[in-house]
């Protein structure tokens, strides 16, 4: 019901109408009891049509009224009179920003002074748990004295009844100016608010950036001819850089604005408090006559990196390494990199965006993402040229490896040992195939693990139908779910992964692995039903670790992602005549190549990983659980490379560890405090790991992959030429010394399956010790028993003879160490370190790691001192991934 000057509502006398909005009308009024002028907002009756809505509105309004800040308009009261609901607010004599921003923007000094005050008020509200959700120039008033006040704070947030999207909560219902008012509100919405998704304080940061943009340049960051086109601009385009509209703007200010306006909330300022501090810094720089923008950029440039602590042996070693690397590279034919188009990020969200699949027409990208909460992988689809991702799946279990159907209408993906199909624009999922007792998609590091036939009738994938079977290649009908094995894994081989049908339907390729690092690409001609024709062909040798592959659109070759014997990978073009050439487009950890059939585009996943070695206090022989923050965990080996697998020497004075600082893994030694880091081996570009000390501390054993197999080596702990102690042709891995130093235990597939063997430390005849599938051997501290693991758990076997005994059942025990009277073992989910007291049988979680601390390729990445008072472990301090796009790929 409209009110006029002189009307009364409760104790308030109406003086004049200030404005009308979608939530009601605002009047200037006088409080007859207190004699002060107030702003009276009369709420539209249809906004409170139920008692539940009214109860929640009152509850939230009370919370907003508790805000007491000089830059926030205070809510004095909330009431009801004769069925009319109203809010009483502080009256501010002044003008809103939309009334005072001139063409070309405000003066720089005013931009900063107003913005600092607004950010201060915003920070106070966020700390109180209140989010504005309608921040715009019309809701920021500047008093006649220059004081900034935020208006309507919390109203949009308070009105967020879960059945109402944010778009509706800020709509202006004034019939005379409805279109303009809607655009005025929509122009400042964050992408998540524009899509009616859940919002938090970072949504206000985006809106603040849009307001700041307009204050600085006098134009809106996002505009359109209609509400829909404006929303599309927010979701799909970046605003024109503010420096192009005003070249005199300080560079730090334009960077600040751009950071506020990032599409991904995780890449914006995370708090208004930090935003305010940055604005104050810019203001102080200007007021003090500070450096120009270019000078400031130089002043704030990061200092040069300090020289690394580790030292490598002489220049001759470096030359030898260079020679090995050069020879390896020259073995590649046609090694000139292809000149492709520009490379740019496709996604830069928080967490892990992985397993990209570019649509056949090159216009969309499907991928797995663990989401803003970094808690579970789901399948998302996004337009390649920009916009927010559409979430297709919402199951509690992780979803992986989306693959487009040839017509672009459906996606296939993996979940819980099953294959699902879903419409590409979202809809009802259909489970196509399930291996309840086996595994499908067993290795997320492999790419192209799911591929459609050219006509869409079949899918090819890798998996194992029963527990304990190796992964092989399977074909399933996309209509009936009928499936059949497509390959036969040769005896003594490890697995087959990454199958892919050629676009012309004539061939199937996949990766066949002898062991972890020895993999080859295999080609098999097929008929129209996917049945093999003729013999298999190996397109590569087994001398490298091929992580993934993708067909070229013309079916005449492949793109390979190949690990360079460290964590780093590179991509190569492999032709069907077996010639290769490096693409030369990236030198990091690049995985999951995906090519469009049209549009000349390639997408891939780029990972960022930094692993360092830490020391923490152990429990001792009699201690119990301890919180991580009470373990005194401290880094001892740090670099930008991957430092892992620490092993403490028997006297506790030195560490040996594995690092890919040369671009591939080599053994290193250092003091137990991280000093005097020295490269121990220089064996060239291949993979090696699992360093273990001899009991006298004079030698170190390790495994090394070469020529399609792996062997055990030993090297003097003070340097020298490593000696191979096992022969060729088998998978010999994970060595450890006997307590008397006479033997080296190791795991090997010499008997057809992995079991424990031993060899004299100086070399000689081998002896098989187990025959029930076993890995990871360690002799007990007293030298009486041999410990090892298999799929059932941790076992011990008396070295004097007798039957093995199951020590721990059903644990993830590929990572364990023996010390004193205890077994220490790692658990990956959640990441923690557990202890089993062998004398009492007591088992407990000693501590839980805040970051991933175990599990790099299954390596033993922790070591415990003999007195159980020191534990060394490798911790992944950074692990994330983004998706990249190559334009004009050819």
How far is the C-alpha of 517 from the C-alpha of 213, rounded, in Å?
Answer: 52
How far is the C-alpha of 746 from the C-alpha of 753, rounded, in Å?
Answer: 13
How far is the C-alpha of 301 from the C-alpha of 296, rounded, in Å?
Answer: 8
Specify the 3-state DSSP secondary structure of 825: strand
Copy the structure tokens of residue 718. 């003070």
Which has the closest alpha carbon to 689: 708, 711, 719, 671?
711
Q: What angle do CA 363, 241, 606 make, to 5 degrees?
A: 45
Cβ contact 774:783 at 8 Å = no
How far is the C-alpha of 187 from the C-alpha of 222, rounded, in Å?
Answer: 6
How far is the C-alpha of 538 from the C-alpha of 83, rounded, in Å?
Answer: 82
Helices (runs of H) and strands (runs of E) counted in the chain: 14, 56
How far is the C-alpha of 26 from the C-alpha of 198, rounded, in Å?
Answer: 28
Per DSSP, what are the bridge partners of residue 24?
Answer: 21, 43
| DSSP state, residue 240 | P
The dihedral over CA atoms of 794, 798, 803, 809, expressed in degrees to the nearest 10, equals -10
Copy the structure tokens of residue 402. 């989306």
Copy the structure tokens of residue 487. 């390959």
Helix or strand holding residue 537 (H, E): strand 537-538
How far is the C-alpha of 517 from the C-alpha of 542, rounded, in Å?
Answer: 8
Specify the 3-state DSSP secondary structure of 787: strand
For the annotated catalytic residues, the residue numbers are 134
Q: What angle do CA 212, 215, 221 make, to 5 degrees?
A: 65
Copy the structure tokens of residue 405. 């159907």
Which has the closest alpha carbon to 546: 512, 500, 596?
512
How far is the C-alpha of 333 from the C-alpha of 840, rounded, in Å?
Answer: 62
How far is the C-alpha of 808 from the C-alpha of 792, rounded, in Å?
Answer: 8
Specify the 3-state DSSP secondary structure of 878: strand
Residue 599: other Cβ atoms inside 10 A: 18
Greatest Cα pair distance, the chain, in angstroms, is 108
Residue 252: other Cβ atoms inside 10 A: 19
Copy the structure tokens of residue 542. 């087994």
Query: What secondary structure does DSSP assign to 639-675, as a single string?
Result: -SSBEEEEEE-TTSSEEEEEE-TTSS-EEEEEETTS-
């Amino acid at each position: 019901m409209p009110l006029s000057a002189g009307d009364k509502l409760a104790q308030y006398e109406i003086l004049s109408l200030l404005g009308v909005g979608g939530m009601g009308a605002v009047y200037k009024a006088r409080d007859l009891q207190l004699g002060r002028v107030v702003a009276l907002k009369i709420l539209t009756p249809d906004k409170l049509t139920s008692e539940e809505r009214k109860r929640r509105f009152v509850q939230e309004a009370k919370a907003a009224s508790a805000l007491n800040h000089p830059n926030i308009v205070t809510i004095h009261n909330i009431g009801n009179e004769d069925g009319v609901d109203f809010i009483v607010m502080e009256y501010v004599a002044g003008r809103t920003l939309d009334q005072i921003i001139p063409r070309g923007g405000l003066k720089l000094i005013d931009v900063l002074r107003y913005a600092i005050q607004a950010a201060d008020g915003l920070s106070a509200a966020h700390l109180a748990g209140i989010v504005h959700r309608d921040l715009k120039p019309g809701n920021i008033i500047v008093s006649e004295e220059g004081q900034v006040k935020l208006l309507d704070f919390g109203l949009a947030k308070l009105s967020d009844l879960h059945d109402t999207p944010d778009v509706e909560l800020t709509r202006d219902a004034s019939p005379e100016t409805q279109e303009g008012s809607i655009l005025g509100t929509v122009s400042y919405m964050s992408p998540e608010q524009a899509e009616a998704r859940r919002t938090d304080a970072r949504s206000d940061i985006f809106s603040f950036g849009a307001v700041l943009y307009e204050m600085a340049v006098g134009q809106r960051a996002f505009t359109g001819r209609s509400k829909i086109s404006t929303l599309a601009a927010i979701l799909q385009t970046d605003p024109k850089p503010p420096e192009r509209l005003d070249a005199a703007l300080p560079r730090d200010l334009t960077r600040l604005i751009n950071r506020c306006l990032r599409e991904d909330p995780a890449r914006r300022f995370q708090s208004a408090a930090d935003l305010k501090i940055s604005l104050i810094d810019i203001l102080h720089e200007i007021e003090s006559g500070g450096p120009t923008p270019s000078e400031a950029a130089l002043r704030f440039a990061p200092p040069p990196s300090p020289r690394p602590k580790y030292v490598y042996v002489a220049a001759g070693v470096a030359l030898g390494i260079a020679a090995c690397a050069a020879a390896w590279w020259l073995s590649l034919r046609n090694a000139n990199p292809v000149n492709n188009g520009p490379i740019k990020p496709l996604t830069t969200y928080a967490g892990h965006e992985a397993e990209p699949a570019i649509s056949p027409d090159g216009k969309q990208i499907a991928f797995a993402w663990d989401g803003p909460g970094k808690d579970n992988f789901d399948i998302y689809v996004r337009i390649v040229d920009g916009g927010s991702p559409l979430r297709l799946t919402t199951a509690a279990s992780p979803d992986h490896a989306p693959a487009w159907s040839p017509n672009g209408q459906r996606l296939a993906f993996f979940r819980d040992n099953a294959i699902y199909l879903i419409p590409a624009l979202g809809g009802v999922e259909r489970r196509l195939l399930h291996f309840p007792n086996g595994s499908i998609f067993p290795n997320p590091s492999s790419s192209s693990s799911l591929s459609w036939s050219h006509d869409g009738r079949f899918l090819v994938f890798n998996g194992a139908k029963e527990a304990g079977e190796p992964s092989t290649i399977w074909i399933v009908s996309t209509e009936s779910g009928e499936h059949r094995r497509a390959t036969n894994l040769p005896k003594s081989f490890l697995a087959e992964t990454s199958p892919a049908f050629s676009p012309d339907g004539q061939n199937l390729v996949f990766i066949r692995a002898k062991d972890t690092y020895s993999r080859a690409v295999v080609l098999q001609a097929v008929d129209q039903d996917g049945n093999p024709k003729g013999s298999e062909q190996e397109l590569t040798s087994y001398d490298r670790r091929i992580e993934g592959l993708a067909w070229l659109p013309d079916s005449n070759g492949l793109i390979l992602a190949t690990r360079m014997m460290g964590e780093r990978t590179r991509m190569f073009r492999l032709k069907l005549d077996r010639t290769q050439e490096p693409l030369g487009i990236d030198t990091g950890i690049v995985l999951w190549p995906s090519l469009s059939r049209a549009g000349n585009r390639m997408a891939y996943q780029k990972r960022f990983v930094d692993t360092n070695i830490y020391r923490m206090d152990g429990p001792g022989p009699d201690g119990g659980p301890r919180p991580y923050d009470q373990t005194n965990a401290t880094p001892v080996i740090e670099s930008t490379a991957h430092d892992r697998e620490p092993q403490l020497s028997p006297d506790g004075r030195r560490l040996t560890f594995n690092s890919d600082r040369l671009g591939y893994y080599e053994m290193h030694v250092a003091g137990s405090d991280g000093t005097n880091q020295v490269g121990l081996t220089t064996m060239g570009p291949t993979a090696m790991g699992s360093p273990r000390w001899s009991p006298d501390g004079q030698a170190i054993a390790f495994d090394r992959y070469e020529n399609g197999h792996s062997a055990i080596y030993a090297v003097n702990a003070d340097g020298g030429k490593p000696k191979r102690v096992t022969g060729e042709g088998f998978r010999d891995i994970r060595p450890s010394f006997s307590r008397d130093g006479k033997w080296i235990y190791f795991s090997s597939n010499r008997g057809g399956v992995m079991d424990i063997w031993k060899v004299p430390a100086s070399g000689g005849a081998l002896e098989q010790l187990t025959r029930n599938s076993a890995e990871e051997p360690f002799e007990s501290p007293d030298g009486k028993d041999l410990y090892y693991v298999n799929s059932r758990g941790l076992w011990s076997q008396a070295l004097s003879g007798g039957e093995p005994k199951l020590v721990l059942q059903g644990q993830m025990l590929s990572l364990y160490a023996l010390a004193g009277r205890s077994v220490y073992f790692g658990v990956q989910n959640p990441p923690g370190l557990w202890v089993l007291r062998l004398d009492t049988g007591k088992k407990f979680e000693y501590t839980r790691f805040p970051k991933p601390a175990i599990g790099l390729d299954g390596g033993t990445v922790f070591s415990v001192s003999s007195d159980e008072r020191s534990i060394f472990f490798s911790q992944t301090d950074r692990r994330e991934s983004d998706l990249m796009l190559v334009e004009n790929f050819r």
